Structure formats: C-alpha cells, structure tokens
Amino acid sequence: MKVFEEKRIVLGVTGSIAAYKIVYLASKLTQSGALVDVILTESAAKLVSPLTFSSVTGRRAYIDQDLWQVDDHVLHIELGEENQAFLIAPATANTIAKLANGLADNLLTVSALASRTKLLVAPAMDGGMYSHPATQENLQILEKRGVRLLGPAAGHLASGISGKGRMLESDQLLGHLRVFLGKDGVLKGKKVVVTAGGTQEPIDPVRVISNKSSGKQGFALAQAAMDQGAEVVLISSPVCLSPPVGVLKIDGTTAEQMSAAVLKETENADLLIMAAAIADYKPAQEKNHKIKKDQGGLSIINLETTPDILGELAQRKKPVGIGPRLTIGFAAETENLQENASLKLKIKELDLIVANDISRKDSGFGSDKNQVTLIWKDGRIEELPLMEKSEVSDIIIHEASKLIESI
C-alpha cells in the first residue's frame, strides 16, 4: 500500500468500547509504512492502554499529560500541523460535541483545532445517543465545516440493542483513508473503468459455465486507480471480494451484462482496463427448470459465442469516436505468450496489453501474485518479475497515467 508510505497520520481515539478495534487499524497502517501518532483521551486510555498502541505503532502514543510536558508545550501544534491525515475513531458523542463547538480541553481536541488537514471522524455510540437531536445537529455542523463523517453503520451495539451507531470496521476506515490520501493523485478528475472476475453463463437456474478467475487482479487495479484519485467504476462478476472503498461497483455476471455495462460506462471514460475473463461461449438457451440428472439432459449443451467486448468497443470508436480514451487489455495464455498477446493487442486495437502465462502454478488465476509482460502498441515490451497483484496494479496504473498524459 504505497499510499501510506512515510505518511504521518494522527489517530485520535476517544472513550467508546470500539477503541479496542482501532488497535488493528493502527497496526495495519504501520505495516503499510505510515507513521501513526495516536492521541488517546482520558476515557479512551481507560479502555485501551497507550502502551498497546505504542507497541503496534513503534511510536509514542500521547495522552493528556503530554500536553503539559515542559519540552512539549507546542505538541498539539506539531501534531495538528505535521500530518497528512487526521482521523478520530472512534469518536464519541462527547468529542463530536466538543469539535462542533470548537472546544479544546484535552490534547486531542486542541490538536484537532490546530489541524491544517480536514478531519475524518468515525462516530461510535449507542443508537439513542446517535439519533439525539443534539448529536445530529453537531454532526451537521461538522459536515458543513468540511469534516468527513465516516459512518456510523447500523448493527449490533455494545448495549445489546441493534441500531445505527456502530463504528465502521477498521478495513473500511483504512479504505476511507486511502481515498483521502489519494484524492490529489495523478488520476484526479479521470474516470477509470475496470472489469474483473470470470463471467457466468447460465445453463439452468442452478448451473453456470464459468472459469477460474478470482477477480483479485481487477479489484487490485480498481484500488490502485482509487489510490491515484480517479473516479473508478468496477464492473465485476460475482466474486468473494469486497470492492475498494469509494469505487462504484456494477454487476456484470454474464458476458452480455458485462458488455452492456462496459459500453455504457466507457462512453465518457478516460481509461478502460479489461481484466475480466469473459466466457467465449454461452449455452444457446438457458433452461428455465433444473435439468435432472436421471434424464441424461446434460450430455449435449449447445453453445454460441458471446460478444467480444473489446472488439465492439473498437468498432464503436471508429465512426463516432465514442469510448475510452485509452484501453488496456489482458491476455491469458498458456503458450506463445508474446506472439499471442501482441496479436490480441493489434486485433482489439489496444494501447497496452498485459500478458500472463496462466500455466504457471505460482501466478495468475486465484493466486495473490502475478507474473506479467507488458506490451505497448508502439512495440515496447517489458517482462515484470513475479509480484503481488497489488504491485502489478500500481505499475499498470502508473504506465496508464503516463499514456493518458501523452494523448
């Protein structure tokens, strides 16, 4: 997660029981290269010790007494000014009320008042406290002032009731931080459409023809584009992955659904990345009842070809110029990688093709890693080593942004 490397993040923790969950976030951020300065309120320190936070961040975790240390009398100014993001999570109704009124009676609120970056606030409290008019008005004041409110979500609350007031999970908060830190990236103002997963072509109400694509590479590409500030639309078949925070996810279960969504979403797009493995064939007719095994009905399935989406896009682009400004395709090959991929690049009129050898056991379908070769339309070829799909995605997005700049 390059987006966090060397970034200084202030993490304000207040006295909600959700405080214990934020230790995971502090740890994840640190593992991703961030320098995390935790500030605990007095009540937060009763729930989770500063030592817990300093143990996972490798940095001092601050408490109110630190405000009055002789050598740290401007600590709040330093914490407030020297950061790239300031997140308060969990934020209690009490701290929200203080922020709304500009109160600065502890190290966290005084640092928040001194902060030059916009505050991110993740409320956490019981349902009744959240819906109380006082809290609602305070939240509105904060929102009007430009504070980004993250959640809360609805669900189980510590009091035992179910309602709105649950802090967003740490992974969601991590996603929001990525959106915040990436907002001024090189793809700011650009629309990027990514396809992911393997399409499913129905045989009958329970069976489909599909392939081994996990969607991991496509989802990682969507995240990498988000990290660079793009507006991202992710068109995916059903896969077991959560879409990155901030991405608009659209269902593309069958090749036809994917085709319709891609054609619509790319009309005004700057970049299309076709990472989806689209079935080349589908059953000519979907049975409307479950085919029973004792009827021997599956011995023959008549197949017909699905639309070639990249081919259709190239056709549409020619006469009227509608379509993505830049198109990147994938080529999943088991032999003659470069020759086959280069041919696809030409036929499908792509700007760049990402070729991968899917016969390798340690890379490609289902794996977290991928070994790809990039082939540009000007003939340049670059073979990348085996790496995490997230790293492959960062490289592809970096190359794509260079191409977008050049047109």
Residues that bind ligand CTP (CB under 6 A): 255, 274, 276-278, 280, 306, 308-310, 329-332, 344, 348
Which CB sits closer to ligand CTP, 63 or 355? 355
Which CB sits closer to ligand CTP, 234 or 331? 331
Reduce the DSSP state of residue 374 to 3 states and report it: strand
Which CB sits closer to ligand CTP, 119 or 221? 221
Which CB sits closer to ligand CTP, 87 or 262? 262
CA distance 167 to 360: 42
Pairing of strands 208-209, 381-383: unpaired
Residues in the chain: 407
Closest separation between CB of residue 329 and ligand CTP, Å?
Answer: 3
Which CB sits closer to ligand CTP, 66 or 308? 308
Selected catalytic residue, list 83, 138, 211, 370: 211
Closest separation between CB of residue 224 and ligand CTP, Å?
Answer: 17
Closest separation between CB of residue 220 and ligand CTP, Å?
Answer: 15
Q: How far is CA 262 from CA 256, 259, 307, 335, 341, in A?
A: 10, 5, 12, 29, 22
Reduce the DSSP state of residue 8 to 3 states and report it: strand
Closest separation between CB of residue 301 and ligand CTP, Å?
Answer: 18
Q: Tokens for 24? A: 């995971």
Residue 211 catalytic?
Answer: yes
Contact 161, 128 (CB under 8 A): no
Best CA proximity match to 25, nearest among 221, 168, 189, 191: 168
DSSP 277: B
The angle subtended at Cα 52 by Cα 47 and Cα 53, nearest 5°, is: 100
Place of tokens 């001092």: 60
Phi-psi region at 327: left, alpha or beta (left = phi > 0; alpha = psi -120 to 50): beta
Q: Tokens for 134? A: 């006082």
Which CB sits closer to ligand CTP, 35 or 250? 250
Residues 102/105/106/111 CA torsion (nearest 10 deg): 30
Closest separation between CB of residue 190 and ligand CTP, Å?
Answer: 20
Closest separation between CB of residue 365 and ligand CTP, Å?
Answer: 12
Q: Tokens for 207? A: 């069976």
Residues facing 331 on adjacent strands: 355
Which CB sits closer to ligand CTP, 286 or 312? 312
Helices (H), 190-301: 216-227, 255-265
Place of tokens 């399935």: 301
Burial call 165-191: b when 16+ CB within 10 Å, e when fewer: bbbbbbebbbbbbbbbbbeebbbeebb
Catalytic residues: 211
